[in-house]
Amino acid sequence: MASVLKNLSNYDPNTVPDASEMSIGIVVSEWNSEITEALYKGAYETLLKHGVKKNNIFKRYVPGTFELTLGAQFFAEYSDVDAIIALGCVIQGETKHFDYICQGVTKGITDMNIKYNLPVIFGVLTTNDKQQAIDRAGGKHGNKGDEAAITAIKMVALHNNFLDYMNVVK
- Catalytic site positions: 97
**In one letter, which amino acid is 27?**
V
> What is the 3-class SS of 85-133, one letter each residue?
EEEEEEECCCCCHHHHHHHHHHHHHHHHHHHHCCCEEEEEEEECCHHHH
CB atoms within 10 A of CB 56: 17
Distance (Å) of CA 23 to CA 84, 125, 128: 9, 24, 33
In angstroms, the CA 145 to CA 78 distance is: 24
In angstroms, the CA 68 to CA 61 distance is: 9
